[in-house]
Amino acid sequence: MAVCIAVIAKENYPLYIRSVPTENELKFHYTVHTSLDVVDEKISAMGKAMVDQRELYLGLLYPTEDYKVYLCNIAASPCSHTFLHRYGYVTNSKVKFVMVVDSSNTALRDNEIRSMFRKLHNSYTDIMCNPFYNPGDRIHSRAFDNMVNSMMMQVC
């Protein structure tokens, strides 16, 4: 189950961060921001090859004791002995999606994470197409919140 989903702007400030449980929100903010270093390393390692590449999914960034974080290009309380995985995804406009996943759910596969990022990217694209949304502003959308909530509860 995803315990944190974040959309990070090109300039590395948060456009949207949602975490469950909310008591650990500060910890998840820290986790997301530390995973941005790994995202930047992966992007720079790809270099020019990324421009030609259609794959935006960065894969598993790194596992940690507590939570797993997943990143994406384009935005129940775990016990203390769980491991978290961080995954990343980057859009063509350098907006980054990071997802932290509770690793106690072994049924969660890489292709499921990939499809969750695609859903997130599609929903972000819908927000960007809204004429009343100013690019770079924080995301305040009920539809986006509902989609993120469904993703967080989807794999429980």
Say what the pTM is: 0.80
> What is the chain's mean pLDDT, rounded?
79
Q: Judging by beta carbons within 10 Å of its beta carbon (0-12, 13-18, 19+), is residue 36 exposed, middle or buried?
A: middle
Q: What is the DSSP letter of 77?
A: P
Domain boundaries, the chain: 2-154
The model's pLDDT over 14-52, given as tens digits with 9 standing for 90+, comes to: 999 998 877 778 888 888 888 888 888 887 777 655 555
The top-level CATH class assigned to 2-154 is: alpha beta
The whole-angstrom separation of Cα 70 and Cα 59 is 7
When pLDDT is averaged across residues 81-100 and rounded to a whole number, the result is 84
% of the chain exceeding 90 in pLDDT: 30
Comparing 138 with 38, the larger pLDDT belongs to: 138
The whole-angstrom separation of Cα 106 and Cα 129 is 36
